[in-house]
Amino acid sequence: MNYIKQTVLGLIIFSTSTSFAQSNDKKVLDAMVKGDYKTAVVQLEKANAKEPNNVKVLQMLGYSYYQNGDYENSITTYSNLIVLKPTEVSAYYYRGKARLNVANDPKQALSTMRENFYTAAIKDFTKASELSGEEDTQMLQNRGLAYKDYAIFRSFKAKKAVEKQACVALFNNSIADFQKVLTLQPLRKDIIDWITYDKAQITSLK
């Protein structure tokens, strides 16, 4: 299942078939179809102010924030959505992606919260996989990347043997997810390259 395509399609279908569409939603629909997520955010923020517990509005707003690169607002919006609908797979998936982007932002280099964003992203991808009930290549790939990036982050400070072992475990988790992707999509060069990279990092830690 492609959760990016599924979410976009679902949002557009929703925006053309509900009472929300009959009011200000045509602007949202037009903006999202054009990829103009800044306009979509403006309209959706207005809708959210009027009806803060509307699940579909929150879903579209979180996605539009994400597409705008406003990851912190995307995380907040998806968190609010999860409170209302704790089984929404796409909310965990995109919140995980947003958290990973925040963790990897160079501006976060000195932030003490950076590790929390990595671990939270991994938990989100895991939860999304559990809820979906299937092995999805996008979730596996993103969790594999999250494990890899978290391992790299921790390896910079790893001096003791136990710290290096923890990094190796994270790299191995990354490899396991990437290998599952290859099982579903053989010969993907990008994934093969990431596995090679992970193995090289493990070697360097020994």
Q: What is the pLDDT of residue 152?
A: 96
Give mean pLDDT, residues 32-50: 89
For residue 71, the enclosing domain spans: 1-108
Integer Cα distance of 6 and 54 in angstroms:
19
pLDDT bracket for residue 16 (50, 70, 90): very low
Closest by Cα among 206, 141, 127 to 175? 141
Give per-residue burial for 152-163: e unless 16+ CB within 10 Å, then b: bbbbeebeeeee
Q: Is residue 160 part of a domain?
A: yes
User: What predicted TM-score, i.e. pTM, was given to this entire model?
Assistant: 0.88
Q: Taking the CB of residue 170, how many other CB atoms lie within 10 A of it? A: 25
Q: Does residue 93 share a domain with residue 13?
A: yes
Is the pLDDT at 41 greater than 60, yes or no? yes
Q: Are 54 and 86 in contact (CB under 8 A)?
A: no
Is the pLDDT at 17 greater than 50, yes or no? no
Q: What is the pLDDT of residue 30?
A: 77
Q: What Å distances lie between residue 107 and 58, 92, 112, 114, 202, CA to CA?
A: 27, 24, 12, 10, 27
Q: Does residue 143 share a domain with residue 102?
A: no
User: How many domains does one find in the chain?
Assistant: 2
